[in-house]
């Protein structure tokens, strides 16, 4: 009997210690971004395969980027106006960038843009965008 009373007192202390916080207990851990959304991308000399991808906004993206070419390539998602030359690119507009050497594959996991729209994807190696390495990431709300 004495043990029960002590337990009750301890519970009250714990609840009191938690007041004022926003902690909630649901009994299960949920992923606020939903299941990961896979994106398969490949680079050749000098194009992206495919030339567009459609993803949900704010989804957790798992991008697998394979380089089927003979030189290094990058997969860079650009925010802002369409660019025609890497020389014109303001690097602060790069939302996310992955690079991989010839014959290799890299993977990256990140959140898609929250703002729906069409985002340009380019290779940032000098001359590659001009040679045709441009694609689209379509973000749907
Ligand atoms: Cu390239």
Residue 133 near residue 84 (C-beta atoms within 8 A): no
**Token pair 């000399």 in the structure block, residue:** 45
CA distance 78 to 46: 18
Task: Kindly report, residue by residue over 14-36, the tens digit of the pLDDT.
Answer: 343 444 445 545 555 556 667 89
Q: Is 9 helix (H, G, I), strand (E, B) or coil?
A: helix
Answer yes or no: is pLDDT of 102 > 80: yes
Would you state the structure tokens that stand for residue 103, as one six-digit string? 């014959």
Q: Is 119 helix (H, G, I), strand (E, B) or coil?
A: strand
Predicted pLDDT at 3: 42
CA distance 4 to 139: 57
The whole-number average pLDDT for the span 73-87 is 93
CA distance 60 to 16: 37
Residue 46 near residue 79 (C-beta atoms within 8 A): no
Predicted pLDDT at 91: 94
Separation of CA 140 and ligand 1 centre (Å)? 26
The whole-number average pLDDT for the span 37-57 is 98
Give domain limits for the chain: 36-140
Answer yes or no: is pLDDT of 139 > 60: yes
DSSP H helical ranges for the chain: 2-18
| Residue whose C-alpha is closest to residue 107's, from 31, 32, 36 | 36
Separation of CA 128 and ligand 1 centre (Å)? 5
Secondary structure of 85-101 as H, E, C letters? CHHHCCHHHEEEEEEEC
Q: What residues are neighbours of ligand 1 (ion), with CB under 5 Å?
A: 73, 123, 125, 128, 133
Separation of CA 7 and ligand 1 centre (Å)? 66
Determine what percent of the chain is predicted with pLDDT higher than 90. 72
Average pLDDT, the chain: 84
CATH topology of domain 36-140: Immunoglobulin-like (2.60.40)
């Amino acid at each position: 009997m004495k043990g029960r009373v002590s337990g009750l007192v301890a519970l009250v202390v714990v609840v009191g210690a938690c007041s004022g916080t926003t902690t909630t207990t649901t009994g299960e851990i949920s992923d606020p971004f939903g299941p990961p959304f896979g994106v398969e991308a490949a680079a050749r000399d000098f194009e992206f395969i495919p030339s567009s991808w459609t993803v949900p906004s704010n989804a957790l993206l798992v991008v697998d980027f394979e380089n089927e070419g003979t030189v290094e390539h990058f997969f860079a998602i650009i925010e802002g106006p369409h660019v025609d030359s890497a020389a014109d690119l303001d690097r602060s507009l790069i939302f996310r960038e992955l690079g991989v050497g010839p014959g290799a594959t890299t993977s990256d996991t990140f959140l898609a843009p929250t703002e729906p729209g069409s985002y340009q994807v380019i290779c940032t190696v000098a001359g590659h965008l001009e040679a045709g390495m441009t694609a689209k990431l379509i973000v749907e709300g």
